[in-house]
Amino acid sequence: MAEDAGGAASYNQKREVFVLVKRNTLVLALVTVILAVFAWAGWVNWQYRRQAAEEQAELANEHAKLFSSEGTGEGTGSSTLQSNNSLVGKPAPNFTLEDLNGKEVSLSSYRGKAVLINFWATWCTPCQIETPWLVALSRKYGPQGFEVLGVSSEGDGATPKDTREWSKDKEAIEQFVHQEKVPYPVLLGGDRLSTPYGGVDYLPTSFYVNRKGIIVAVETGLTPKSEMVANIRKALGK
């Protein structure tokens, strides 16, 4: 009887130890998972902050370059920005321009979609920086009803002296579009739209148009991608 009692006690002790070890193992595993989640969240947050800091630093550097030179027609001008902003809340002036294939494209045909009208030129440094952002954003928000229209101001307001000069401008545009893999329409002769759009004297200049054809935001000069996203969402009605 004593041996049986001793055996039972030993068995119970072993079982308690086993249960305790198992419980501790589960607790340790749970703690490990929790710590891993916190570590992952911290890493994601660090990556986000680093990316934002790099973007702001890049933007600051580019602005410093732009503002160090005068009379280039690039950057931000307060008088032009004020004139452009007067169009906010008003219908976007309609236009019809030819794309690189000679097809006529009208703004009115995009009614019901959110549209970003981007005035740019191949010789414009901030435009070169901004274009990859536009390409990425057009692909990201395109399925939601967002469109980009790149309006070339290659001639900088000047009328080409002859057809050879015009062909040269078009060739430069086509080369840039091919190089950047631009998926949206690029229209020619944007200089003619300067007056109805408040005088586009600085590049890039972007007008955000909502689904009803109303201009909801204007950007002049190089702006952060986060601001572009905010204005796209505004145009989409989000």
Segment 41-91, tens digit of pLDDT: 666 555 555 555 455 545 545 544 444 333 344 444 444 555 677 899 999
- Residue 177 in domain: yes
Domain that holds residue 19: 1-68
Same domain, yes or no: 59 and 90: no
Same domain, yes or no: 89 and 160: yes
- Residue 14 in domain: yes
pTM of the model: 0.65
pLDDT tens, position by position, 128-142: 999 999 999 999 999
Same domain, yes or no: 156 and 58: no
- Residue 8 in domain: yes
Same domain, yes or no: 159 and 189: yes
Same domain, yes or no: 51 and 164: no
Q: Which of 16, 48, 68 is the last residue of a domain?
A: 68
Same domain, yes or no: 1 and 103: no
Same domain, yes or no: 34 and 7: yes
Same domain, yes or no: 83 and 173: yes
Same domain, yes or no: 184 and 86: yes
Same domain, yes or no: 139 and 183: yes
How many domains would you assign to the chain? 2
What parts of the chain have a pLDDT lower than 70?
Answer: 1-24, 27, 31, 37-39, 41-83, 155-168
3-state SS string for the chain:
CHHHHHHHHHHHHHHHHHHHHHHHHHHHHHHHHHHHHHHHHHHHHHHHHHHHHHHHHHHHHHHHHHHCCCCCCECCCHHHHHHHHCCCCCECCCCEEEECCCCEEEHHHHCCCEEEEEEECCCCHHHHHHHHHHHHHHHHHHHHCEEEEEEECCCCCCCCCCHHHHHHHHHHHHHHHHHHCCCCCEECCHHHHCCCCCCCCCECEEEEECCCCEEEEEEECCCCHHHHHHHHHHHHCC
What is the structure's pLDDT at 83? 64
Q: Which of 37, 68, 99 is the last residue of a domain?
A: 68
